[in-house]
Amino acid sequence: MIIGIVAVARNGAIGRDNRLPWHYSADLKFFKRTTAGNAVVMGARTWESIGRPLPDRLNLVLSRRGDVELPAGVRLLRSREEVVEFAAAFDGDVFVIGGAGVFSSVKDVIERWIVSHIPEIVEDGDAFLPEGLFDGFDVRDEFDLGEGVTVRVLDRQKPGE
């Protein structure tokens, strides 16, 4: 399954200066626990901001840029079609972790969203969740992580619903 996973502030911000503009340990632990043992897809700027492979996950970088340098074990994908092909052959879930451009480019193949709602407004945010990403999705589950963070799990509506 291809799953989008994102933390978003009340004003739609998802980043500032190529970093998360907050630190909520409950959300970071949830992200790690949820994505461990699976694959994560990220854009080149997200890769650069993290600076290393996320442990216990297969790290995939989606980029059309020719100058992306990746260490051994990190795979480069060039298109959303390659993400779909990889997901079909992979024995596990494929989590799309950002950034905004990657979310936009694969939004039509994401089957589920896991959205952490951060209890802040980030006035100086410079990366925002693209509009309409959750159109055609229904809330399947909602739970509290603590620290004011709420998680919503949304599944894509089936045709005819």
Q: Is 20 within 8 Å of 13 (Cβ atoms)?
A: no
pLDDT (tens, 9 = 90+) of the chain, 161 residues, equals 999 999 999 999 999 998 999 999 999 999 999 999 999 999 999 999 998 999 999 999 999 887 788 999 999 999 999 999 999 999 999 999 999 999 999 999 999 999 999 999 999 999 999 999 999 999 999 999 999 999 999 999 987 65
Domain residue limits, the chain = 2-6+37-156
User: CA-CA-CA-CA torsion for 18, 20, 21, 26, nearest 10 degrees?
Assistant: -170
CATH architecture of the region 2-6+37-156: 3-Layer(aba) Sandwich (3.40)
